[in-house]
Amino acid sequence: MSDKPLRELPSLADSRAFWQILNVLIIVLHLAGAYAWLRYGVSAPAAVLWLIMLGLHVLELPMAFIALRGHSVSLLRLVVGTLLFGFTWWVPARRGIRGY
């Protein structure tokens, strides 16, 4: 165990690698869901989950606008990043993690 108090330990939410791993997993989910939808239609559970995920990302747009107000993020980048990755894109951008 570390001798540092918990408040001094780095937060996982401040780790760029953590958010990048989540975004890679989301890309895999997008690919699997799109494949299932194109191959089997909405009868495939993976396609239904993918469409639900896309719907949730659309619903996140107002939160992303509020969270990134005052940051120098273009409207196009905000919309595309949120639609593709959801909160795993705009939360690190809000926290000021480099590369987002």
Q: pTM score, two decimals?
A: 0.80
pLDDT tens digits along 21-61: 999 999 999 999 999 999 999 999 999 999 999 999 999 99
pLDDT tier at 3 (50, 70, 90 boundaries)? low
- pLDDT value at 8 more than 90: no
pLDDT of residue 100: 67
For the stretch 62-87, pLDDT in tens is 999 999 998 888 999 999 999 999 99
DSSP string, 66-89: HHTTTS---HHHHHHHHHHHTHHH
How buried is 76 (Cβ within 10 angstroms: 0-12 exposed, 13-18 middle, 19+ buried)? exposed
Contact, 17 vs 95, CB < 8 A? no
